[in-house]
Amino acid sequence: MGEFVIKMPDVGEGVAEAELVEWHVKPGDPVREDMVLAAVMTDKATVEIPSPVNGTVLWLGAEIGDTVAVKAPLLRIAVDGEGESESVAESVKEEERQPLPSPHRGEGARRADEGVSLPSPNEPSAPKEPSPSSDPSGHLLPAGEKGKASTAETRPLASPAVRLRAQEAGVDLRQVSGTGPAGRITHDDLDQFIARGAQPVAAAAGLARKTGTQEIKVTGLRRRIAEKMRLASARIPHITYVEEVDVTDLEDLRATMNAGRKPDQPKLTILPFLMRALVKTLGEQPGVNATFDDDAGIVTRHGAVHIGIATQTPAGLTVPVVRHAEARTIWESAAELTRLADAARNGTAAREELSGSTITITSLGALGGIVTTPIINHPEVAIVGVNKIVTRPVWDGSQFIPRKMMNLSSSFDHRIVDGWDAAVFVQRIKALIETPALIFIEG
């Protein structure tokens, strides 16, 4: 009997560490080759760590929310045969026995040369007293039952994104048959299960007082969202400008174009038109298509227009980026929007597709409300918010007529963009949207 040590892999892109967002096993669990053991997050991309061997888990080297350095020991597995070379296994054990400073859970970076947290050599290798965890469907379990729900026999294989979707839909993943490698449940498996009319787990009938509380550790994408929002709020003095826009003619044009679209063309929403209007306006006001390094005191104006599209996903808010929007037609913009939104919601978007934007559009669709105060995506200097379209009576000078109206709520970094320039910027977008033929006129 030997031991196999699995270390935090090098996920590329110069990443030196990653946050542990999910364990799929616990000490004592049997594992098989290609079984997903854990999930880690770098920036906004989630990476699953599979097992390269068959065996039994002996020890876990981190807790959910910990930041683990690349090449740091992550877990040990007992295997048949010799396992890894004795020197490797012993060096890892020696690392584990070294005393560590009190860790700052979920925040401080863990360096490979510091080792990882482990009970003393005289204590059995076992996890700390478990905190409330979740069963395969995502429902919280008491601490004492954590092991029951995470064993290899009962816990189905699925990515974090699939588990979150199942939790929100009230689906117990133990009832879903997986078609992926080693029985792994895919998004398609979950979609087919729901489409067959499978019913969510029913809530208990009747009225009853509830006295329990639930503590949820902020980890993974949610923690990164929180950090970005704190950074933007603390460092950027926002000015928000709201303007009412008549989109009646644009909606008529959009309906006409959708009616005549080709089979391989996507359905047009208002966003591709707004993107083209944004590109034309930024050509006239390049100071808004910029990023601000406030530590160095340098504003960088970008020739390329890389538009971030704030997108709600099962895991939280992400911002996939339509690159070089200035070189895309309405149809090309719509196709890229659809592709990126699907990738973001399925958790398959690449890191480069989730970074590098120079300005952002945010829209809540039909839930867009009357007015919003969007927060700038640091280090950008502007964000354009789309509110919902409503039909209202508008006075045309002699009578009230029904018109489709929409508000644009846009925020600017007031250190870089003056109020006058912000107003001119939004007014130019308004003019293009209200006379949509102008969007297609070049020069």
pLDDT in tens, 137-178: 333 333 344 444 444 445 778 877 788 788 778 888 888 888
Higher pLDDT, 423 or 138: 423
388 phi/psi in degrees, rounded to 5: -70, 155
Task: Name the residues annotated as catalytic.
Answer: 414, 418
Distance CA 185, CA 154 (A): 13
Q: What predicted TM-score, i.e. pTM, was given to this entire model?
A: 0.62
Each residue of 62-72: pLDDT tens digit? 888 888 888 89
Distance CA 33, CA 55 (A): 8
Average pLDDT over all residues of the chain = 81
Res. 80: pLDDT tops 90: no
Distance CA 58, CA 31 (A): 11
> Of 254, 249, 252, whose CA–CA distance to 270 is shortest?
254
> pLDDT exceeding 70 applies to what percent of the chain?
79
Strand intervals (E) in 148-252: 238-246
Q: Which pLDDT value is given to residue 249? A: 97
Q: Which pLDDT value is given to residue 406? A: 95
Distance of CA 115 to the CA centre of its chain: 30
Q: Which pLDDT value is given to residue 205? A: 59
CA dihedral 301, 305, 306, 308 (to 10 degrees): 100
| DSSP output for 300-361 | EE-SS--EEEEEEETTEEE--EETTGGG--HHHHHHHHHHHHHHHHHT---GGGGS--SEEE
Distance CA 435, CA 428 (A): 11
Terminal C-alpha separation, the chain: 74
Binning the chain into helix, strand and coil, the percentages to the nearest 5 are 30, 25, 40
**Mean pLDDT, residues 29-51:** 83
Res. 436: pLDDT tops 90: yes
H or E stretch at 426:
helix 419-434
> pLDDT exceeding 90 applies to what percent of the chain?
42
Res. 242: pLDDT tops 80: yes
Q: Which pLDDT value is given to residue 200? A: 54
Give the sheet arrangement for strand 55-60, strand by strand.
Answer: 2-7, 73-79, 55-60, 30-31
Q: Which pLDDT value is given to residue 209? A: 80
Q: Which pLDDT value is given to residue 134? A: 42
